[in-house]
Chains A and B, each alone.
Chain A
């Protein structure tokens, strides 16, 4: 920094100011967004930051010319944010950036065309990133981290600007996705609902007209929401959409989608190929799949236990846990097949004690009441066709398709 002369600093700042007003006047979003994108850490921005820290009187420069001062509200705060950003003061950087962003939104509102959408995207992105950093800074100093929340409400405002009719609506989905990211991070997922409603309920804009990347992101997050709601068919649809439209080369994204799509598919009775799990490094699901194939309840429980933290965090634990019933079904089916090999005429009657014995082999100790209960639930949920005779303690299976496949339908439907 020391090598930076005052004149040089002055020159750089003026250059920045010039390119800012230039890009606005020529409606050049591409160059405007470069000026706003702090987190890119581009050398030119950093040098401006250094210049600002050296040359303290930037505000005077802004006021000097009408060309700059008409964006004074934006630039003054932007400069302050940039200074703080350079110095690592995330909290102050965020606060200033939010002010700048607010002013920017004001301007944006007045621009009839949507030329500045790209720049707005950058602002929305930056505000989230800066808020996350600010929160980290706040948390480390023992203060309540609430900037991300603030960023959320700011983005809601941005969403309000975009969500109406008109050319700017194309940008609404991007902001929505940023909001999703914030809400999921904060755990305030319920806030997503209002945004989703206005995206989906409004017929004035066809969903397909949104940019692809936003659609994929949107479908990914709404799919996750459906997983929370245990609405598996809808989750399957959304996540599958995300998967098929996702850039096939961005493996990280595909992995993220599969992380939710696989449990959903499992619960719909569709098992993944082993190579898929390997390719995308989702081996934590391998034992689950194996258990489903073999009816090995113990394996399932072990797998759940082993990755409990991970599953809980990603929110699929409860989904996987529900696979237990399918494992029981598989177990019963195995017993049925074995019985059929022995004596086809009596195969459709499975004695309760046989099941208990089978479970014992799996080192799962359940008394007859419990096993009976499980069988009753299996019948109730339509995983097994037949009935249970309480007196004789026998499961009487239907002669036709005693173990119906789910075939993409959720259990119990």
Chain B
């Protein structure tokens, strides 16, 4: 059901929102209510229920899933039309609300579902926190932050009592460290060191880059199974909603205040808060502190799992808690609960993550924003009386939470915005005058935000953000630098359409740029490290948190948000495994079945080869994207659905690992969500995409070390039972199902079928890959395996699919060394040729040659390959083309790829050595244009064709041709010697063969 819902949603035009949406809306009380403790509790409960159901694989799940997926499409719709804006708060408009909501998410999170996941994680984390000793700080966080937090989560906090106070405690560095329960030392140490090791280094000039590493790190850490476990035990409690627990929690002990009453806590804490936060810029500091631990916590979990699980979490716990708190603030957006819902989907979310990480500035920003939000907002509120807090919270809450409003704003202001992006710089000074926001101001602004927005200016929150930012500037240079940055931000936000949806109140302030760097490409908060002088950076890397500047903190803050996805997952997993819901397993089974059914659907829309995927963005850039958008969507949805197919915890873990590895391997890979996103934003986002690629590559580096591939392959060895001969290739995202795996005899038939098949290469490649997969899964390594790989390698050679060929070749190499019979000689000839012609690496060549057994040198194919090598090293083109004509096996296909180079080299050589000129017919014959080898009759005609071809080729390469007195075309050597060049290939495609065009594939994939 879930998947069904998803796909449906995806396919459905934005306007038609499936019923589920409504469901969702219903479950989550539409209009945000003031979080009175009781009320909030109630709501929270509801929410909880939802969660539970989700986990159980209950229908509600679907809904949530749906949400995630739909976001993008809806967004599109939303952006295009202002209609959403008109929506009212009334629950009746739920569906619309919903859509608005989704938009909001999108824009704000910018992550395709990814964002949601992240939030989810936060959310979950939040829960955990509450349950914990830490609960106090946590609670506080949500509250403070919380204007943004979705009703459910937020209210919970509310129920806990005065949130503000807690937060303050938490934030207060002093408290933090003093608290007995907290392993403060650990924090600082670990945080700094780990942090530095991995991500810090990566922070380079770009924000993007920063992000990428962060997210990567986060994810990697996420994968660590241990982390999630910690929290599990506590969840139940939390759900039980025993407040006492919270108070009693180990963390609470530390804080006397907390122990007594939550309300009481307020007062004591406040002072601390004020201290830290009175200045707008400072809040980040505290947050940063908290973050640090976070980062640590993520990485640490893997090592500590056992302890945590046991419930003796104290030390570990702290980490988690701190991390979570921060997150919470991040989570403080309405989206927070979505993630909840999405739990089932989270499998998908890794892919999405990729996208997000990779490239979306928007997303990144969002996260940061999220982090900051709580801080800034909180402070004012804390200072104020609790009542004011409440109200403020409420107001904010409404704004943020209600997607509709946000969207309204967005829609109404889109135009102004765009115009504004240009003018924003100019307008900023005005904001400056406003300077430091005082608490009351804040409240007002938040309250008024509704009306203000409607009035048609920039969103109030944005203005506040600008003010805050500019207030930090100490001189004109900084001011202008900041303006530049903000202009960039706003422009990009406008481009993404997130200007109005984004939560500017929570948007982290970017670090003050050094003036000269101010003009760099979009600079976001995270990059703070960039701005520091090297020495400074090095120092801060290792030193404990306190010394850090606010900006630095920011950088850290940004990271956690991204990380959270991982936690969430873990949580979910834990919950499931712990059997918090007794029914969950069964339900899950059901859902799995359902998903299996879905699988068929998915298969029919099988994901295309990654190559193609990688090509996609390019294609879109060329403006072709729109035509394929539907297909893409469906494809991508099938991707995501596919990945969410199985739900067991172990599988999830495996999947995580795998997809992580995948990310590592394929820098270019774009994910479904990414596609959606790109399409969404259209051409506007070109730059985002580029950034994505960049970040991706960063990611690669970052993750390189984190691959944990500790699968138990033995346990996964299956005996297939599938009797179907034809099977499409689908990259496994879970343990193979014997029912879909073909046993050896069927595979043999399948191979024969492919060999005689008349269909095109893509089909055959697909079939062979599925055969290979089945072989691998069943660990069949014998003659058949060799045959399959050989067949595939030959096929790939014929179609110049070198990457596929290389895969096969490397497999064959190991298979041959295992002593399995095959066409060893033929393939050693190929690999020789490959090295000679394509990698041109003398060392490899030498080692290959020296390893050739003397028998091999007698083999026809190997001999030929060696002769080709001699010809190439000598530059003997005559020999080369002679060999080309009599190449055995598929050697000529490999040589094909070198022919052009050889010809060009030859012509260069000729132009220098011949005088005065040479007949083109000679060149044509010598350089293999005319196939002189065929029968005499045809010979003449062919030669003529050859001459024409040769003439064209020569012309294309800038040769000077003259006709002599006999009317014969001549190559003017002297004139040509300075005019030759290598033309740009006209039909160049990334994968080297225009025949394998994406459109072609898509056309077939959907039919």
Residue ID in chain B nearest A376 by CB atoms = B913
Name the interface residues of B902-920: CB closer than 8 Å to any CB of A: 908-910, 912-919
A377-B909, A388-B915 in contact; A325/B874 too (CB < 8 A)?
Answer: yes
B877 touches A373 (CB 8 A): yes
How many Å lie between the Cα of A189 and that of B847 in the bound state?
12
Main secondary structure of the interface of A (DSSP, over half): helix
Among B873, B913, B916, B922, the residue within 8 A (CB) of A380 is B913
How many Å lie between the Cα of A369 and that of B871 in the bound state?
14
B922 touches A377 (CB 8 A): no
How many Å lie between the Cα of A266 and that of B913 in the bound state?
25
Q: A387 to chain B: which residues have CB within 8 Å?
A: 913-915
Q: A315 to chain B: which residues have CB within 8 Å?
A: 843, 846
A228-B843, A380-B912 in contact; A390/B874 too (CB < 8 A)?
Answer: no
A390 touches B922 (CB 8 A): yes
Residue ID in chain B nearest A384 by CB atoms = B913
Residue ID in chain A nearest B925 by CB atoms = A369
Q: B916 to chain A: which residues have CB within 8 Å?
A: 389
Name the interface residues of B735-761: CB closer than 8 Å to any CB of A: none
B870 touches A321 (CB 8 A): yes
A375 touches B926 (CB 8 A): no
Name the interface residues of A211-258: CB closer than 8 Å to any CB of B: 228-230
Q: A375 to chain B: which residues have CB within 8 Å?
A: 913
Question: Hey, what's the 0/1 contact readout for B231-266 against A, CB within 8 Å counting as 1?
Answer: 000000000000000000000000000000000000
Q: A325 to chain B: which residues have CB within 8 Å?
A: 874
Question: Hey, what's the 0/1 contact readout for B869-894 against A, CB within 8 Å counting as 1?
Answer: 01001111111000000000000000
Among A318, A373, A390, A396, the residue within 8 A (CB) of B918 is A390
Residue ID in chain B nearest A322 by CB atoms = B873
A189, A370, A372, A390 pick with most chain B CB within 10 angstroms: A390
Give B819 Cβ to nearest chain A Cβ, in Å: 13
A317 touches B846 (CB 8 A): yes
How many Å lie between the Cα of A369 and that of B906 in the bound state?
13
B879 touches A370 (CB 8 A): yes
A376-B909, A390-B918 in contact; A324/B874 too (CB < 8 A)?
Answer: yes
Is residue B845 contacting chain A, with contact meaning CB distance below 8 A? yes
Q: A388 to chain B: which residues have CB within 8 Å?
A: 913-915
Is residue A204 contacting chain B, with contact meaning CB distance below 8 A? no
B845 touches A318 (CB 8 A): yes
Name the interface residues of B848-880: CB closer than 8 Å to any CB of A: 849-850, 870, 873-879
B845, B878, B913 pick with most chain A CB within 10 angstroms: B913
Question: Hey, what's the 0/1 contact readout for B379-419 against A, CB within 8 Å counting as 1?
Answer: 00000000000000000000000000000000000000000
Residue ID in chain A nearest B846 by CB atoms = A315
A229 touches B842 (CB 8 A): yes
Question: Hey, what's the 0/1 contact readout for A371-385 against B, CB within 8 Å counting as 1?
Answer: 011111101100000
A318-B842, A377-B875 in contact; A369/B926 too (CB < 8 A)?
Answer: yes
Give B877 Cβ to nearest chain A Cβ, in Å: 6
Q: B926 to chain A: which residues have CB within 8 Å?
A: 369, 373
Q: A321 to chain B: which residues have CB within 8 Å?
A: 870, 873-874
Question: Hey, what's the 0/1 contact readout for A185-214 against B, CB within 8 Å counting as 1?
Answer: 001011000000000000000000000000
A228 touches B842 (CB 8 A): yes
Q: B879 to chain A: which residues have CB within 8 Å?
A: 370, 373
Name the interface residues of A80-113: CB closer than 8 Å to any CB of B: none
Is residue A313 contacting chain B, with contact meaning CB distance below 8 A? yes
How many Å lie between the Cα of A369 and that of B877 in the bound state?
10
How many Å lie between the Cα of A375 and that of B849 in the bound state?
28
Residue ID in chain A nearest B849 by CB atoms = A312
Residue ID in chain A nearest B974 by CB atoms = A387
How many Å lie between the Cα of A312 and that of B842 in the bound state?
11
A313 touches B878 (CB 8 A): no
Q: B876 to chain A: which residues have CB within 8 Å?
A: 370, 373-374, 377
How many Å lie between the Cα of A377 and that of B910 in the bound state?
8
Q: B874 to chain A: which residues have CB within 8 Å?
A: 321-322, 324-325, 377
A313-B850, A318-B846 in contact; A369/B878 too (CB < 8 A)?
Answer: yes
How many Å lie between the Cα of A325 and that of B850 in the bound state?
23
Residue ID in chain A nearest B854 by CB atoms = A309
A312, A318, A377 pick with most chain B CB within 10 angstroms: A377
Q: A390 to chain B: which residues have CB within 8 Å?
A: 914, 917-919, 922
Give A276 Cβ to nearest chain B Cβ, in Å: 25
A376 touches B914 (CB 8 A): yes
Q: B873 to chain A: which residues have CB within 8 Å?
A: 318, 321-322
Name the interface residues of B106-159: CB closer than 8 Å to any CB of A: none
Question: Hey, what's the 0/1 contact readout for B907-944 against A, CB within 8 Å counting as 1?
Answer: 01110111111110010001000000000000000000
How many Å lie between the Cα of A322 and that of B872 in the bound state?
11
A370 touches B915 (CB 8 A): no
Q: B914 to chain A: which residues have CB within 8 Å?
A: 376, 387-390
Give B16 Cβ to nearest chain A Cβ, in Å: 57
Give B197 Cβ to nearest chain A Cβ, in Å: 14
Residue ID in chain A nearest B876 by CB atoms = A373
Among B842, B913, B917, the residue within 8 A (CB) of A379 is B913
A373, A380, A389 pick with most chain B CB within 10 angstroms: A373
Give A228 Cβ to nearest chain B Cβ, in Å: 5
Give B883 Cβ to nearest chain A Cβ, in Å: 12
Q: B915 to chain A: which residues have CB within 8 Å?
A: 387-389, 396
Q: A372 to chain B: which residues have CB within 8 Å?
A: 878
Question: Hey, what's the 0/1 contact readout for A280-312 against B, CB within 8 Å counting as 1?
Answer: 000000000000000000000000000001001
Residue ID in chain B nearest A313 by CB atoms = B850
Q: A376 to chain B: which residues have CB within 8 Å?
A: 909-910, 913-914
B846 touches A380 (CB 8 A): no
Give B873 Cβ to nearest chain A Cβ, in Å: 6
B843, B845, B918 pick with most chain A CB within 10 angstroms: B843
Give B901 Cβ to nearest chain A Cβ, in Å: 16
How many Å lie between the Cα of A237 and that of B932 in the bound state?
49
Q: A318 to chain B: which residues have CB within 8 Å?
A: 842, 845-846, 873
Give A310 Cβ to nearest chain B Cβ, in Å: 10
Q: B909 to chain A: which residues have CB within 8 Å?
A: 376-377, 380
Q: A380 to chain B: which residues have CB within 8 Å?
A: 875, 908-909, 912-913
How many Å lie between the Cα of A363 and that of B781 in the bound state?
49
Give B540 Cβ to nearest chain A Cβ, in Å: 21
Q: B918 to chain A: which residues have CB within 8 Å?
A: 390
How many Å lie between the Cα of A203 and that of B266 in the bound state?
60
Give A86 Cβ to nearest chain B Cβ, in Å: 35
Among A229, A312, A322, A389, the residue within 8 A (CB) of B846 is A312
Q: A389 to chain B: which residues have CB within 8 Å?
A: 914-916
Residue ID in chain A nearest B908 by CB atoms = A380
Among B843, B877, B908, the residue within 8 A (CB) of A189 is B843
Among B842, B850, B878, the residue within 8 A (CB) of A230 is B842
Give A45 Cβ to nearest chain B Cβ, in Å: 38
Give A133 Cβ to nearest chain B Cβ, in Å: 24
Give A328 Cβ to nearest chain B Cβ, in Å: 10
Residue ID in chain B nearest A387 by CB atoms = B915
How many Å lie between the Cα of A315 and that of B841 in the bound state?
12
How many Å lie between the Cα of A85 and that of B140 in the bound state?
63
A-B contact list, 12 entries, CB within 8 Å: A189-B843, A228-B843, A317-B849, A318-B846, A321-B870, A324-B874, A373-B879, A375-B913, A376-B910, A387-B915, A389-B915, A390-B917
Give 20 new A-B contacts, CB below 8 A, not counting A187-B843, A377-B913, A388-B913: A228-B843, A230-B842, A312-B850, A318-B842, A318-B845, A321-B873, A322-B874, A324-B874, A370-B879, A374-B876, A376-B909, A376-B910, A379-B913, A380-B913, A387-B915, A388-B914, A388-B915, A389-B914, A389-B915, A390-B919
Interface of A with B (CB < 8 Å)?
Answer: 187, 189-190, 228-230, 309, 312-313, 315, 317-318, 321-322, 324-325, 369-370, 372-377, 379-380, 387-390, 396
Interface of B with A (CB < 8 Å)?
Answer: 842-843, 845-847, 849-850, 870, 873-879, 908-910, 912-919, 922, 926
Report, nearest first, the 10 A-B pairs whose CB atoms are least far apart.
A379-B913, A312-B850, A387-B915, A373-B878, A376-B913, A380-B909, A390-B918, A370-B878, A380-B912, A369-B878
